[in-house]
Amino acid sequence: MQKLLILYGTQTGNSRGVAKELGAEAAAHGFEARVLGMEKWKELDFEQDKTPLVLVSSSTGNGDAPDNADKFYRFAKKRSTPPVFKGVPFAVCALGDSNYEQF
């Protein structure tokens, strides 16, 4: 069974709901889907385990990362971050509110 990792960043729970729906849909199509909050990222070994990754995240405030995604976002954004995501297939599902200038 093909594995799939879905990480979500959420402030109000909307992204968690979307991630769980994606996980259920993936499981219905034969994937072994694992859904985790982005605060769990340090427990994962992206370099060794090249499991396909889906990132589901909302923005909060004026385009900021949600609280549970902030450390993951800062880690992934740093130029000094080792290439831990090299070779990891990924997709991004971004949720925002168009009432804000940056969403």
38-86 per-position pLDDT tens digit:
999 989 888 788 899 999 999 888 788 999 999 999 888 886 667 878 8
Q: What is the pTM of this model?
A: 0.88
Q: What is the structure's pLDDT at 80?
A: 67
* Residue bearing the bigger pLDDT, 87 or 22: 22
Q: Is residue 18 part of a domain?
A: yes
* Mean pLDDT value of segment 2-24: 97
Q: Is residue 8 part of a domain?
A: yes
CB neighbour burial string for 34-47, b if at least 16 within 10 angstroms, e if fewer = bbebbbebeebebe
Q: What is the structure's pLDDT at 22?
A: 98
Spatial contact of 67 and 15, defined as CB atoms under 8 Å apart = no
Total domains, the chain: 1
Q: Is residue 101 part of a domain?
A: no
CATH of residue 51's domain is 3.40.50.360
Domain coverage including residue 52: 3-95
